[in-house]
Amino acid sequence: MVAPVVVTGAAWTTPLGSGLDAVWRRLLAGEHGFVEVPSPHRLRNTQAAVVPGRSSGQVEGPAERLRGLAVATLREALEHAGLPGDGARTLFVLGTSLGAYLDDEGERNAPLHQWADAVVGALGAKAPPVVLSTACSSGSDALVVGAECIRAGLADVCVCGGVDILTPSKRLAHSALSTLSPSRARAYDTRHDGMMLGEGAAFLVLESAAHAEQRSARILARLRGVGSANDAASMTSPDPAAAGARLAMERSLVDAGLAASEIGLVNGHGSATPVNDRAEAAAFRSVFGAKGGPLVFATKGAFGHTLGATGAMEAIATILGLREGIVPPIVGLEQPDPEFPCPLSVGAPTRHSARKGLSVTLGFGGFDTSLVFEVAR
């Protein structure tokens, strides 16, 4: 039997602030973190969701900003779990989508894992980190890797998640690709026309259930199942038939030992690009049926698309939504797509009774990831 994996700590630094409860209250109130961010370049949209007050009046370079966000958020996650960062059998699994690599000259000729080595060194970690970059699925794939390391007996504790920062190159790239909305993010809306960028960091502390029980840890949720796939349809666009997304969700359900009908809540990718929204709807239709199914919510309308951090931020939102029995409205969604197969959280917070939920991410390059969480309420 596969050893159970539980979540005993979590932290995020978001455009709506930090602190799990404080940010959750702002999400439930339908707030967003978008502000005007001037650019010397011509962009489709100059608004973005940025983390407030990070530099404390000092100018930080991109690499320093990335490391600072990661270290501060990891320390909060460890404190929330009641654990030190230097445990002998503690492993850090950290993801980013390029991070500061394209915008900091000091990073370009350095190993791609250098930023993560510096981060865990600041925390006193005994082992080098596992570092990955799978585009928008980096944060959620870090959780997949961490869960498998615990199951394989390679670690008792894995601190997993992602971090990414807003940089000129990312803004230019998404503007040139026309994935950036010229108006606002409207996930699953008939008027969806693109995503909006954000930044942040989020990390979850995973433990073997036996280790958590031994130290009488508070358990936030159980990570019941993980699944990933790659549809390899394009460097940027998902497979229109959503084969990868469907396979990732089905694999996570098999891993969890659950039927699709047992899932009551889904945190969708909700990027608000027409191709992603259509692919996601096709995947949900294939897994859950043409009508009904679990309640779907999404957070990119509030946080922006935080790239390498988004999967971990959405995993935390999924856990909070399950624990609280209520989820925030999808910011920007006003005219739901009538063909969307699942009920959506529209206009106001939506109450539910689900205890089991999915967090789904669909990354550039076809990286599709699904996480199954369960809470006791």
* Catalytic residue of the set 80, 174, 192, 269: 269
The Cα–Cα gap between 7 and 224 comes to 10
Which residues sit opposite 359 in a β-bridge? Answer: 267, 371
Beta-strand pair 17-18/5-14: antiparallel
The Cα–Cα gap between 192 and 332 comes to 9
**Segment (H or E) for 367:** strand 367-374
Nearest to 87 by CA among 217, 197, 187: 217
The Cα–Cα gap between 198 and 14 comes to 9
CA distance readout (Å), 320 to 19, 328, 356: 12, 10, 12
Single-letter residue type at 374: E
CB 104 within 8 Å of CB 68: no
Q: Is 269 a catalytic residue?
A: yes
Q: Is 41 a catalytic residue?
A: no
Q: What is the CB-side half-sphere exposure of residue 132 using CA atoms within 13 A?
A: 22
The Cα–Cα gap between 54 and 229 comes to 35
Residue 1 contacts by C-beta under 8 Å, 6 or more apart in sequence?
none
Single-letter residue type at 324: E
CB atoms within 10 A of CB 53: 8
Q: Is 305 a catalytic residue?
A: yes
The Cα–Cα gap between 106 and 112 comes to 11
* Catalytic residue of the set 136, 149, 158, 160: 136
The Cα–Cα gap between 151 and 4 comes to 8
Residue 243 contacts by C-beta under 8 Å, 6 or more apart in sequence?
229, 231
Single-letter residue type at 327: V
* Catalytic residue of the set 149, 305, 342, 352: 305
Which ranges of 257-299 does DSSP label H, i.e. alpha helix? Answer: 274-288
Question: Which phi and psi angles does 147 have, rounded to 5°?
Answer: -60, -40
Would you please indicate which residues are annotated as catalytic (active-site) residues? 136, 269, 305
